[in-house]
Chain A
Amino acid sequence: MEQIIILPIIIPLFFAVVMLLFWNKVHLHKYLNLISGLTSLIVSVIILSFTISYKIISLQVGGWVAPFGITVVSDLLSSVMVVITAIIGFSTALYSIGTIDNQREKYLYYPLLQFLLMGINGAFLTGDVFNLYVWFEVMLISSFVLLALGGRRGQLEGAIKYVTLNLLSSAIFLAAVGILYGIAGTLNIADLARKIPLIDQKELLSVVSILFMVAFGIKAAVFPLFFWLPASYHTPPVAVSAIFSGLLTKVGVYALIRFFTMIFTHDIGFTHTILLVSSALTMLTGVLGAAAQNDFRKILSFHIISQIGYMILGLALFSPLAIAGAIFYIIHHIIVKTNLFFVSGVVKRLKGSYLLNEVGGVYKYYPMLGLLFLIPALSLAGIPPLSGFWAKFVVIKAGLDLNQYLVVAVALIVGLLTLFSMTKIWNEVFWKDDPSGDNKNVNEMYESLTTTKKFMMYSPIVFLALITIIIGFYAEPFFTIANDAATQLLDSSLYINSVLGLK
């Protein structure tokens, strides 16, 4: 039974290989991609249900006993992340059919998407620090190519910044892995969780923890390491931006949560204070950066940063409720943010531009699209009863419980400014009259799209909006899962026993 947890890594690999074997039959790729997304979704839900009933499932690849072999572990946090990855993978598969052009398909867009999903799932499921590095690299290489595919000037400039800073982060990560191995003599996360508390060299541990914090901080776009994100995320096609904005930074956040709850808890006063300060600054800079922008996707990119701040805030507060809040926040954020990017893509198809002052009047002619925008946008700003309200509520409640009034105030102000940004987009894109007069500006490209393509563009938006509404009105089970996941992280004995086979 435990063999099933390798499947979220194997399924994308298998489909990528099949696509590469038939690399010149491009029209088949999108259907293979869709089948892969659907299979992954089913398998990941099965894994989640197994994980809920059996607590933690671990698999020793190749039969080598932990901590010597390669371990794959699915605890609640991992399996929840894998389910969300599958949801986003499936929605992106649908959306790509509607939007991705022939040229990109020819340059192996779909296999790269599968490799990206393989890397993300691998990073979530691995139980070993060095394998985390390897999966990060798998994910990065595919994301590099996806970002640069198409080769327009903006894309290449964005890609250079993205590639350079991510390679820098990988080099730091690698050095940190080496030093950690030198200190602890092991790289298995369960073994580390057991051995780190027994180590005397607390100062050296703090140095390593900061190295990891910087490496993951770059990937998660935490203040002051976020500059690559707004420089690159608005350049590739929308399907790519959407999957990046939903998943890639969250892998960094996931790694931060995993490391700073299970491994580096030797000096919370030091490490988590740094996280707390940087989370407040991340929220503020992100939201202020967004307020200055005039490009639909750039506003959304800056909001990724400000939202990352809330997740890091949950981690930094370091109480069971706060970490549960952070996990709940990730679940909510991935779905909402991906959806907003999808909407921005449809607006671009309609009006031919991402710039707010060039578009307008969408609500007049496409009122349903306005509604579909409002659901994720208001959820992002934290308007009850949508999912974002509960996510913010839990994190802020945890902050109030710990008497951290300053960061709570920052979080509330940032929520308000998020609403300001979303209202700005609403006013400019949907509400105001079209600057070019009547609805003439509607892109003929859009009108000429077949109904199937339009359906493929709208269906993921409706799908993700439905999930947002379900999380909003029926938050209890989602919060229970987040809470149980946080409990598993803070009391790692279950994880250690499962991986190392101690009973």
Chain B
Amino acid sequence: MTVVLAVIVGLLYGAGTYMILRRSLVKVIIGLIFLGHAANLLIFTIGRLIKGSPAFIPVGAETLSEPYADPLPQALILTAIVISFGVTAFAIVLFKRAYQTVGTDDLDKMKSTDELK
């Protein structure tokens, strides 16, 4: 299972990198989303895949019963998903506004700020 996930992470990184190198704004956003997913899945895989129970100490017991799942990677991923939700929503609004103002979604045509005057 770990190998499958590792391959998927690799594919997502590949696809994300390819997409952010495209000239169209929409594809850049998709690429950024892919890269975010890849990072989340990477954390998930690194957190070691086991069929464990939640890391709660049962009533009456003193210690955790093995095997238990490490809760930290899940907390990290959850936080990262929430953050990327907000950031992506903002990026979409921004890119849409830019498309309306500039009148094109071609990144090569958006270089008025780089020109020497």
Q: Do chains A and B touch in the complex (CB under 8 A)?
A: yes
Asked whether, in the complex, the Cβ of A167 is within 8 Å of the Cβ of B98, the reply is no
Interface stretch (choices A29-37, A81-89, A231-239): A231-239
A316: interface (CB < 8 Å): no
The stretch among A103-111, A173-181, A218-226, A428-436 that forms the contact with chain B is A173-181
Judging by beta carbons under 8 Å apart, are B25 and A160 in contact?
A: yes
B65 at the interface (CB under 8 A from A): no
Residue total for B at the interface (Cβ-Cβ under 8 A): 38
Q: Interface with B: A42-50, A146-154, A268-276, which one?
A: A146-154
| A295 contacts B by Cβ under 8 Å | yes
Query: Given that A151-B97, A157-B110, A234-B113 are known contacts, is A179 also in contact with B102, CB under 8 Å in the complex?
Result: no
B32 touches A181 (CB 8 A): no
Closest chain A CB from B46 CB (angstroms): 4
**In this assembly, does A140 line the interface, its C-beta being within 8 Å of a C-beta of chain B?**
yes
Are B101 and A178 in contact, with the CB atoms below 8 A?
A: no
In the complex formed, the residue of B with least CB distance to A233 is: B113
User: With A and B bound together, what is the CA distance between A187 and B80 in angstroms?
Assistant: 15
Q: Is the CB of A168 within 8 A of B47?
A: no
Partner of A178, one of B16, B46, B102, B111: B46
Chain A residues 120 to 174 lying within 8 A of chain B, measured CB to CB, are 130, 133-134, 137, 140-141, 144-145, 148, 151-154, 156-161, 163-164, 167-168, 170-172, 174
Q: Is A417 an interface residue (CB 8 A)?
A: no
**Which listed residue, B46, B86, B113, touches A158 by the CB 8 Å rule?**
B113
Chain B positions within 8 Å of A231 at CB level:
113-114
Query: Is B69 located at the chain interface by the 8 A CB criterion?
Result: no
Contact flags B32-63 to A (C-beta < 8 A → 1, else 0): 10011011101100110000000000000000
**Among candidates A148, A152, A174, A292, residue contacting B116 with C-beta atoms closer than 8 Å:** A292
Residue of A nearest to B34 (CB): A171
Complex Cα distance, B25 from A167, in Å, reads 14
The residue that A181 contacts in the complex, of B16, B35, B46, B98, with Cβ under 8 A, is B46
Chain A residues positioned under 8 Å from B83 (CB to CB): 134, 137
Residues of chain B with a CB closer than 8 A to A161's CB: 113
Q: Is the CB of B86 within 8 A of A141?
A: yes
Q: Does A182 contact B (CB under 8 A)?
A: yes
Report chain B residues within 8 Å CB of A168: 20, 32, 35
**Is there contact, CB below 8 Å, between B38 and A175?**
yes
**Cα–Cα distance between A158 and B111 once the two chains are bound (Å):** 9
| A130 to B, closest residue via Cβ | B76
**Cross-chain contact A141 with B98 (CB below 8 angstroms):** no
Does A355 interact with chain B (Cβ within 8 Å)?
Answer: yes
11 A-B pairs with C-beta separation under 8 A: A130-B79, A133-B80, A153-B101, A154-B113, A160-B107, A167-B91, A174-B80, A179-B42, A235-B113, A294-B117, A295-B117
Not counting A154-B112, A177-B76, a sample of 7 additional A-B residue pairs whose C-beta atoms are within 8 angstroms of each other reads: A141-B86, A156-B94, A156-B97, A167-B36, A171-B35, A178-B43, A179-B46
For the complex of A and B, 5 pairs with smallest distance between CB atoms? A178-B43, A182-B46, A156-B98, A171-B35, A174-B39
